[in-house]
């Protein structure tokens, strides 16, 4: 007995901020009100939604329930994804083979040079199609030619003509695979052909179109093998001025195009040769081309200064030794070896160094002369041509991209000579042409005659389409699926925010460690990353730890105890995982036939967009179409195109809920009396039943349009109600005025014996009615007569600031769901009364009601002021561009003007699109949210708070759990202090913000900039290599294999240049 009393006393201490004996709000009274409010809401919800009828209907079905095995489900999902991606690989390889054949058989015919220009589309009929978000043409493709490429160049015209025959191949593929998305082919000359045809999404406000397929991740990744790269930059005095700027910019572009399977470093040299960074004992190690490492090096490249003379032999020796040692130590990419040289000329070619350190001729040398002809370049040209490379002159910044395109042609040749061509898939990124969040599969295409690269064939895999493989009733309603590649980069994860990534260029690749947030120790997430990367194929594994899950708007957070099952199939480059607090279940019932269930299914309001018939792969089919497809399988034992377990559960739910609309409509009087606008139910297996009130009286079927049929949002009403399945979830849908506010009440229907949620019901009612009947009126009742005081209720009608009580219903994240002060509705309570909220957080932090949860956001963007050193601020407007163009007439050739022009316009456009004074850059921010500590345990607590840090006027407050709900009733007695409200605009209590004691509470979703990736990486030294699984395929030049030296550059016609420049000068 003594032990029990001690435990009770300790619990009381934990849940109480400060016991009060003074007059004011009474604990017993507030607890009584909270009980009445909760019981009233529970009774009201059960009656209106007919929850007892629902439970009875399920009991009559005689359900037999079997829990899902998470390991088996994960293996099945991984194998399904492997088959899906294998199908994409076969499709791409077939397209590549056909493209190679078509080009080989093509004969020039310049008499019929007609093509659909996507940027000025005329004469193409466009229609809507379920696979695409824009109107398309399913028989023709469109062509996009980059702005800086002359579309009448003979090579460009040839590419446009021969690729036209791809239309029939694209169309046949699309007809064969119903779920196929965009198909496209990018040529080495810059021609981009895309099917189906569509209008090209041009930038707004008339800015230039800067899209070039050859610069996109899918093209670069598809055309290259993993490689070790050393960039050698001459920083001697002869490069002083524009030359060193061009060299620095060229190196940054080159670094940017490297993939995470590449390794690199930069050596700058004059009399001395220095690595650009990382001078440690292992300074000869290359860096993996991760986002962090690339940004770190790019920041340093901007700081290069030209001075002194050049010692070529010292620099070449250092570079070759690094490449050789990397290979000998079995580090880096273990594939291609490349040396890029940026200089204005060389007087020497150290042949003996190459013979010593690269005796087998495995190193490709790419030599680029910076600026107009001034010094001897014969030695540089010989160096490149003797070592399987390219020699080019880079006269201006605009020609820098020739470094990438020219080297890609050379480095792709070993792939061209191979019998098997690789197919790669990018990590998730936001498509530049408006395709949303996608992964792109790509494979290179080569000439049949000489294995020269023709271009890259690609198809998009919209990430949302991958949800067609996820059986949500089986994974569990609060579960999610994630997929990572060999570098730990994410292909699928619900936390990837496409809207945030879309505004960043380049977009950061997201790693699993940047999307999962362990509650206690981030090492758990690192362990998950490590084991998923290093796991043996075919061997499932699992981990368990608590994590935080953020809502999409980052205003809410919850904590779940998650089990992670993960698996890698034998052939797949991906590892697949399912995170779940509780997996789903199978159901069987002897009391229903297929035909009977189908009859009920035809009459439901709607069904979820889930893969009931996965082989058909169309989630957005209407209920009618899906029912028809299910009906076609009536006489087939195994439901050939449908998942029989998913369909069986759907039919059971259809029968169990079949009478609900009729039941609800029978309560017309009570519905009108309580201002109810919408009643609905969503079941575990995806049935939706719904009625709504029309014209304030008539009850009709409908309203389900407002219910999401997807399952991507981790905070949709069903998941939120399932988080604490034995309570109502009450929330506010805020309108423009008080009359427009709506209270939604979600009630989980439980099968207690099995501990599962069968369905969740929903009621949406007038906020005003809820306040009157379920809130204010309940606070006029007192537990004992001697406690009665009509002045101290939540009814503030005709009361001044010091009279009556301030009453709030707060949810689990600290938001005001209801209040007797209209202005406070829907706000975070810290914006309403900061000092009381601070007490709910800070008073004995280990046992406070709310905890502050601060999580990093690695997908954030920050506004960075432009300055003279920023590439985005090179030219602030078109007039300064014209001036710089006129100056350049005195310095460079006409060709240099051409190649520099569009880079200048592009930089100017990017700056002006955002703002003349800032640009958006990738950064890390800390985001603050609030979460009640333990919603399972009821609390009743009291405390005292002042109005501000200097005020001595104390107010009493009491807070109590509202039974059966996710809410807390908070009652503040103003005493003589008045309202003490926080200003909603400043989050301030009219205090001096310079007060040392003042520390403003951060709002939910408010973020603090922690680190700007693009510009402050020099404060964060790079890691040599992230944990990774090396790619299984390598295509490298064989020993002493001859390679033809390249070095051609296209020059547009003089007339075309004048016509192009003229509009900007008018």
Asked if residue 808 and residue 755 are part of one domain, the reply reads no
Q: CA-to-CA distance for 420 and 98, rounded, in angstroms?
A: 15
Q: Is residue 388, in this structure, part of any structural domain at all? A: yes
Q: Say if residue 29's pLDDT is above 60.
A: yes
User: What confidence tier does 855 reach under pLDDT thresholds 50, 70, 90?
Assistant: very high
Please tell me whether residues 934 and 958 are part of one structural domain: yes
pLDDT at position 33: 93
How large is the C-alpha radius of gyration of the chain?
33
Query: Are 625 and 751 members of one domain?
Result: yes
Give the pLDDT mean for 147-161.
91
- What integer pLDDT is reported at residue 880 of this predicted model? 39
The pLDDT of residue 160 = 94
The mean pLDDT of 900-918, rounded to a whole number, is 41
Residue 788 confidence (pLDDT):
62
CA distances for 752 relative to 419, 726, 963, 982, angstroms: 60, 10, 19, 44
With a pLDDT cut of 90, the percent of the chain lying above it is: 43
980 Cβ contact partners less than 8 Å away, ≥ 6 residues apart: 833, 835, 947, 948, 951, 953, 955, 974, 989
Residue 175: give its domain's CATH number.
3.30.450.20
- Of 583, 618, 635, which one is at a domain's C-terminal end? 583
Please compute the mean of the pLDDT values over residues 171-188 and round it to a whole number.
Answer: 89
- The CATH number for 367's domain is 3.40.50.410
Answer yes or no: do 529 and 435 share one domain. no
- What pTM, to 2 d.p., does this model score? 0.84
671 located within any domain: yes
Query: Per the structure block, which two tokens stand in for 54?
Result: 């629902």
Range of the domain at 197: 77-219+422-459
Residue 772 is classified by DSSP as I
CB-CB contact of 396 with 896 (8 Å): yes
Residue partners of 242: CB distance under 8 A and separation at least 6: 371, 891
Percent helix, strand, coil in the chain, to 5, is 35, 25, 40
Number of structural domains, the chain? 5
Query: In this structure, are 285 and 390 located in the same domain?
Result: yes
Residues 251 and 375 in one domain: yes
pLDDT digits (tens, 9 = 90+) for 304-314: 999 999 899 99
Tell whether 486 and 625 lie within a shared domain. Answer: no
Are residues 104 and 191 located together in one domain of the fold?
Answer: yes
- pLDDT at position 470 is 85
Least confident of 563-572, 818-827, 1014-1023: 1014-1023
Cβ atoms of residues 732 and 745 within 8 Å: no
Q: Give the C-alpha separation, 624 to 607, whole Å.
A: 10
Which of 566, 583, 600 represents a domain boundary (last residue)?
A: 583
Of 583, 601, 627, the position where a domain reaches its end is 583
Query: Could you tell me if 744 and 797 lie in one domain?
Result: no
DSSP string, 916-985: TTEEEEEEEEEEEEEEES-TTS--EEEEEEESSSS---EEEEEEEE-TTBS-EEEEEE-TTT---PPPTT
Please tell me which residue, 82 or 630, carries the higher pLDDT value.
Answer: 82
Distance of CA 659 to the CA centre of its chain: 41
Q: Is residue 775 part of a domain?
A: no
**Predicted confidence band at 634 (pLDDT cuts at 50, 70, 90)?**
low
Q: How confident is the model at residue 886 (pLDDT cuts 50, 70, 90)?
A: very low
Lowest mean pLDDT among 366-370, 574-578, 666-670, 1032-1036: 1032-1036
pLDDT grade for 901, boundaries at 50, 70 and 90? very low
Q: Does residue 875 sit within a domain?
A: no
Query: Higher pLDDT residue, 340 or 507?
Result: 340
DSSP 998: -
Q: Judge if 572 and 637 occupy the same domain.
A: no
Question: 648 with 746, same domain?
Answer: yes
Q: Tens digits of per-residue pLDDT, 928-953? A: 999 998 777 788 888 888 887 666 78
Mean per-residue pLDDT of the chain: 82
Summarised one tens digit per residue, pLDDT across range 945-1004 is 888 766 678 888 999 999 999 999 999 988 778 777 665 554 444 444 444 445 678 889
Q: Is residue 806 part of a domain?
A: yes
What's the pLDDT score for residue 946? 85
Claim to verify: residue 40 and residue 114 sit in the same structural domain:
no
Per-residue pLDDT tens for 268-308?
Answer: 999 999 999 875 555 678 999 988 888 889 989 999 999 99
pLDDT of 1013 over the 60 cut: no
């Amino acid at each position: 007995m003594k032990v029990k009393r001690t435990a009770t006393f300790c619990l009381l201490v934990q849940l109480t901020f400060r016991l009060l004996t003074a007059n004011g709000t009474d604990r017993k009274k507030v607890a009584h009100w909270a009980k009445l409010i909760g019981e009233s809401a529970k009774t009201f919800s059960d009656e209106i939604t007919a929850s007892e009828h629902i439970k009875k209907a399920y009991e009559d079905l005689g359900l037999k329930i079997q829990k899902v095995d998470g390991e088996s489900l994960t293996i099945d999902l991984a194998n399904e994804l492997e088959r899906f991606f294998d199908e994409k690989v076969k499709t791409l390889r077939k397209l590549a083979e056909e493209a190679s054949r078509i080009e080989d058989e093509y004969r020039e015919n310049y008499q019929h040079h007609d093509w659909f220009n996507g940027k000025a589309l005329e004469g193409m009929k466009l229609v809507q199609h379920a696979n695409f978000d824009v109107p398309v043409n399913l028989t023709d493709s469109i062509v996009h030619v980059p702005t800086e490429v002359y579309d009448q160049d003979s090579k460009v015209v040839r590419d446009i003509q021969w690729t036209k025959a791809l239309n029939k191949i694209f169309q046949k593929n699309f007809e064969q695979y119903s779920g196929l998305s965009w198909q496209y082919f990018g040529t080495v000359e810059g021609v981009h052909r895309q099917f189906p045809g569509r209008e090209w999404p041009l930038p707004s406000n008339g800015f230039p179109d800067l899209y070039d397929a050859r610069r996109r991740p899918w093209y670069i990744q598809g055309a290259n093998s993993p490689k070790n790269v050393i960039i050698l930059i001459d920083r001697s005095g002869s490069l002083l001025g524009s030359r060193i700027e061009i060299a620095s910019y060229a190196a940054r572009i080159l670094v940017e195009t490297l993939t995470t399977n590449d390794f690199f470093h930069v050596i700058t040299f004059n009399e001395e040769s220095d690595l650009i960074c990382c001078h440690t004992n292992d300074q000869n190690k290359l860096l993996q081309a991760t986002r962090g490492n690339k940004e770190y090096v790019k920041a340093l490249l901007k700081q290069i200064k030209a001075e002194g003379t050049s010692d070529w032999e010292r620099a070449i020796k250092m570079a070759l030794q690094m490449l050789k040692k990397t290979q000998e130590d079995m580090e880096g990419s273990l594939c291609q070896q490349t040396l890029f040289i940026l200089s204005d000329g060389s007087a020497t070619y150290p042949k003996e160094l190459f013979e010593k350190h690269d005796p087998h001729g495995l190193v490709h040398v790419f030599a680029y002369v910076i600026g107009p002809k001034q010094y001897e370049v014969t030695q540089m040209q010989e160096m490149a041509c003797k070592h399987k490379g390219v020699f080019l002159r880079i006269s201006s910044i605009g020609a820098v991209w020739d470094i990438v395109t020219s080297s890609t042609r050379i480095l792709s040749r070993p792939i061209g000579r191979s019998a098997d061509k690789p197919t790669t898939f990018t990590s998730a990124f936001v498509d530049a042409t408006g395709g949303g969040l996608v992964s792109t599969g790509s494979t290179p295409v080569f000439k049949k005659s000489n294995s020269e690269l023709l271009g890259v064939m690609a198809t998009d895999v919209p990430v949302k389409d991958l949800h067609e493989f996820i059986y949500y009733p089986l994974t569990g309603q609060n579960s999610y699926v994630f997929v990572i590649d060999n570098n730990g980069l994410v292909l699928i994860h619900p936390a990837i925010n496409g809207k945030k990534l879309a505004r960043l260029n380049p977009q950061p690749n997201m790693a699993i460690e940047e999307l999962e947030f362990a509650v206690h120790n981030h090492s758990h997430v690192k362990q998950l990353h490590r084991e998923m990367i290093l796991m043996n194929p075919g061997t499932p594994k699992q981990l368990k730890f608590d994590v935080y899950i953020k809502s999409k708007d980052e205003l809410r957070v919850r904590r779940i105890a998650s089990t992670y099952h993960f698996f890698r199939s034998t052939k797949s480059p991906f590892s697949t995982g399912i995170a779940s607090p509780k997996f789903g279940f199978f159901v069987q019932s002897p009391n229903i036939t297929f035909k009977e269930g189908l009859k009920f299914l035809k009459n439901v309001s709607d069904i979820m967009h889930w893969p009931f018939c996965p082989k058909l792969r169309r989630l957005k089919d209407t209920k009618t179409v899906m029912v028809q497809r299910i009906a076609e399988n009536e006489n087939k034992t195994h439901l050939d195109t449908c998942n029989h377990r998913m369909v069986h559960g759907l039919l059971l739910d259809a029968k169990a809920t079949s009478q609900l609309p009729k039941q609800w409509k029978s309560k017309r009087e009570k519905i009108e009396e309580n201002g109810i606008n919408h009643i609905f139910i969503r079941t575990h297996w995806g049935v939706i039943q719904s009625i709504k009130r029309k014209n304030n009286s008539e009850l009709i079927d409908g309203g389900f349009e407002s219910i999401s049929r997807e399952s991507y949002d981790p905070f949709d009403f069903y998941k939120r109600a399932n988080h604490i399945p034995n309570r109502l979830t009450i929330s506010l849908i805020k309108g423009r005025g008080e009359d427009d506010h709506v209270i939604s009440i979600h009630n989980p229907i439980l099968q207690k014996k099995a501990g599962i949620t069968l369905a969740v019901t929903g009621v949406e009612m007038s906020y005003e009615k809820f306040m009157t009947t379920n809130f204010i009126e309940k606070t006029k009742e007192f537990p004992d007569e001697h406690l009665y005081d009509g002045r101290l209720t939540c009814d503030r009608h005709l009361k001044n600031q010091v009279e009556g009580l301030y009453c709030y219903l707060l949810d689990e994240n600290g938001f005001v769901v209801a209040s007797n002060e209209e202005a406070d509705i829907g706000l975070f309570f810290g914006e309403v009364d900061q000092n009381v909220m601070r007490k709910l957080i800070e008073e004995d932090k280990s046992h406070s009601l709310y905890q502050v949860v601060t999580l990093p956001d690695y997908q954030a963007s920050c506004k960075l002021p432009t300055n003279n050193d920023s590439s985005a601020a090179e030219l602030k407007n078109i007039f300064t561009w014209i001036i710089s163009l006129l100056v350049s007439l005195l310095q460079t050739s006409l060709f240099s003007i051409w190649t520099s022009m569009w880079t200048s316009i592009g930089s100017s456009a990017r700056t002006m699109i955002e703002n003349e004074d800032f640009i958006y850059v990738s950064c890390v921010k800390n985001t603050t949210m609030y979460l009640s500590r333990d919603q399972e345990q009821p609390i009743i607590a009291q405390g005292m708070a002042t109005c501000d840090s200097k005020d001595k006027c104390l107010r009493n407050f009491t807070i109590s759990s509202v039974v059966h709900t996710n809410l807390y009733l908070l009652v503040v007695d103003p005493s003589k202090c008045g309202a003490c409200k926080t200003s909603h605009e400043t989050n301030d209590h009219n205090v001096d913000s310079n007060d040392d004691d003042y520390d403003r509470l951060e709002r939910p979703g408010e973020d603090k900039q922690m680190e700007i990736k693009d510009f402050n990486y020099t404060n964060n030294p790079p890691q040599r290599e992230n944990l990774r699984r090396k790619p299984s395929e390598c295509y490298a030049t064989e020993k002493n294999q001859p390679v033809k030296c390249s070095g051609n550059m296209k020059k547009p016609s003089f007339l075309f240049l004048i016509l192009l420049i003229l509009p900007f000068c008018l």
